[in-house]
Structure 1
Amino acid sequence: MDYYILAINPGSTSTKAAVYKNEEVLFVEAINHSNEELEKCKSLKDQFEMRKQLVLQALAKHKFNLEKLSAVVGRGGQLPPVKAGGYYVNEAMKKRIIQGPIVNHASNLGALLAAALAQPKGIPAYIYDAVSSDELKPVAKVTGIPEIVRHSFCHVLNSKATARKVAQSQGKGYEAMNFIVAHLGGGISISAHEKGKIVDVITDDAGPFSPERSGSVPILYIVDMCYSGEYSKKDLLKKLRGLGGLKAHLGTHDCRQIEAMIEQGNEQAKLLYEAQAYQVAKGIGELAPTIDGKIDNIILTGGIAYSKMLTDMIAKRVEFIAPVIVVPGENELESLALGALRILRGEEECNEYVDRHETKEEFFV
């Protein structure tokens, strides 16, 4: 039986959509949103109708009949911690996204867009491998501040999908192997995968700095900045995400431009690029003990894994731990579509979202 699946991935400045026939991609559209378009919307919720219409226009452009669709799958957002895998987009999930509390992130629109396009057709709407999917071991959640509990926030969707691909290429199942996966993008996260579960992570604010994020910074310095009177909360959040990392130092987050600087003899750019690789390698080493050093492969993925200069610098520092495999790109639309396809084929069960996180105490269970 042929299944037609529409996958939708809303990002901060773009909406990407693709239609798959089983494993085969029929077309992909990357719709960029200008600052002017986004500034007209006061909140992410206000962006919903704009993005929905643009997706419909993309389908019309390719003369695709919506009646052929078997399911629609959207990127999973910043819900309270959920299991990895697929979830039906139900009323409880939509209520949480619309009414909150929920971290403000463009990925939250994935579920709403999927439901808006699927439910009038009487077909299922899913999310898959939400950003907040949490499979951490209890020991990995403990911090030195009792009021703060660690949760799993990383590039779950691409990290798991890439690990599945690597396992398949070796004739094994994802659930039979152990990996450390470093997702190298605008933000960098690193995850330890043990027999099909992400058991520990280094989040994009707790590890290496990235093209536009500060990564981990000694906390006492941050406390001093918070109380210096020089910065608002908004200012500091921008320093952490958006205006941090390579952008803060070099004025650009484009690694192609930075590599060009290095080739032209810019010593500062060379040092910073190497420092980014150095910190990624440290993060990989930090996670090695979480699965007792029993690692089949280290995987480097994400958009800036296309940089051979960067991946070579990382690999030379960590290849003593395990063989390094580079799988560049984000592959998020494919990851969404293949997850939905496994559900439609009955190869995976789909979860029903139940909102049990009304209080702070329950939120951290």
Structure 2
Amino acid sequence: MAYRILAINPGSTSTKIAIFEDENQIFIKTIRHSAEEISSYPNIASQFAYRKDLILSELKNAGIDIATIDAIVGRGGVIKPIESGIYEVNAAMLHDLEHPVMGEHASNLGGLISHNIAAELGDKVKAYIADPVVVDEMDPIARISGHPAIQRLSIFHALNQKAIARTYAQEAGRKYEDLNLIVAHMGGGISVSAHQKGRVIDTNNALDGEGAFSPERSGSLPTGALVNLCFSGQYTKEEIKKMLCGKGGVVAYLGSNDMLEVERKAETDPEWAKIQDAMSYQVSKEIGAMATVLKGQVDAILLTGGIAYGKPVTDYITARVGFIAPVKVYPGEDEMRALAMNGLRILKGETQAKKYV
């Protein structure tokens, strides 16, 4: 008999839900939330009942009996830094999801809604989160920034990076925990990470835009020039933060964060081609840096995320880093499958849920 898992992934303007029976996806739905609907709530936490009701309504309309669910896995929120893994939602996590210490994010609703639905189904169904963006396995030396007032943080695309790394390991007939990999997730934000024997020992803070610039993030800017900009009197603190994350990177140069448009126009417009290549160049530099973290012992370099659909980008990066290790491209990001497969690993007894404290 197949296990049935419900995956819940709340975003800022949508809530994605999916049902899997073992490895097979049998239902998926993206529920869109208009700006008017979202703006009627004072904060993200107050959207809880609204989003939960929509989820249950969509499942009912699809003819899915919620009582047939064996486990629920929600998108992990911005909670305290934790090791990679699958965590059962408990009282301590609920508190931190409801009272976030690192800022509000819609993904915090994933654990809250999952727990609430599971509680209504009784003791047989448990709620989990898996590999939230705050996964922190960095080596102590990687945390040192260059000034004691600032510490480097691990905030990256943990869910997709870990899922892609495990996918590659399975294809290679090896265990993720036996491999050294460099994984570059390229989407609205870009994170490049060194995976050493199943642990991400170094990565860039993709939330704040550290590392390579991306479609809408400025990346690591020259510090002196950034300080001068901050104190020029021309911009507010919020405007500067938006320049770094939201209105930086490709969109700042070209007025577009659509990499399909960039790829298309780059074929005939040298300016668009230059910016596309510059982003690819910076990703390549980050990969090279992570190769030194792994002391050159790299089994493979994995390129993933939505931008990995773009052949000019992946070809450019491969040409620059292919001497380090074989490059494998996994375009897109299937977060719903990644969530569900983590739940399936628990149900099959392949791993145990960790305790959040």
Which category of TM-score, normalised to the shorter sequence, fits these structures? over 0.9
User: What is the CA distance between 1:288 and its match in structure 2?
Assistant: 0.5
1:185 aligned partner: 187
2:42 equivalent to 1:42? yes
User: What is the CA distance between 1:100 and its match in structure 2?
Assistant: 3.0
Query: Structure 1 stretch 151-160 or stretch 44-53: which is displaced more?
Result: 44-53
2:329 aligned partner: 326
User: What is the CA distance between 1:185 and its match in structure 2?
Assistant: 0.2
CA contact (8 A) 1:87 1:353 kept: yes
2:221 aligned partner: 217
Moved over 4 A (4+): none
Residues of 2 paired with 1:100 and 1:260: CA distance?
41
One-letter amino acid matched to 1:245: G
2:200 aligned partner: 198
1:132 aligned partner: 134
TM-score (normalised: structure 2): 0.96
1:69 aligned partner: 69
User: What is the CA distance between 1:51 and its match in structure 2?
Assistant: 2.0
Give secondary structure in 1 for the equivalent of 2:16: strand
2:344 equivalent to 1:335? no
1:310 aligned partner: 313
CA contact (8 A) 1:190 1:203 kept: no
Residues of 1 paired with 2:205 and 2:92: CA distance?
27
Residues of 1 paired with 2:217 and 2:46: CA distance?
26
Residues of 1 paired with 2:137 and 2:222: CA distance?
27
CA contact (8 A) 1:96 1:102 kept: no
TM-score (normalised: structure 1): 0.94
TM-superposition CA deviations, 1:55-90 (whole Å, max 9, x none): 222212211000001111111111111111011111
Residues of 2 paired with 1:112 and 1:119: CA distance?
11
User: What is the CA distance between 1:54 and its match in structure 2?
Assistant: 2.1
2:236 aligned partner: 232
Q: How many residues align?
A: 353
One-letter amino acid matched to 2:259: C
2:291 aligned partner: 288
One-letter amino acid matched to 2:261: Q
2:114 equivalent to 1:114? yes
1:256 aligned partner: 260
- The 5 A counterparts of 1:353-364 are 353-354=356-357
Residues of 2 paired with 1:102 and 1:31: CA distance?
26
Give secondary structure in 2 for the equivalent of 1:216: coil
CA contact (8 A) 1:159 1:183 kept: yes
- The 5 A counterparts of 1:3-14 are 3-14=3-14
One-letter amino acid matched to 1:212: E
CA RMSD between the two structures = 1.3
Structure 1 unaligned spans of 5+: 355-365
One-letter amino acid matched to 1:287: M
CA contact (8 A) 1:208 1:279 kept: yes
Structure 2 unaligned spans of 5+: none
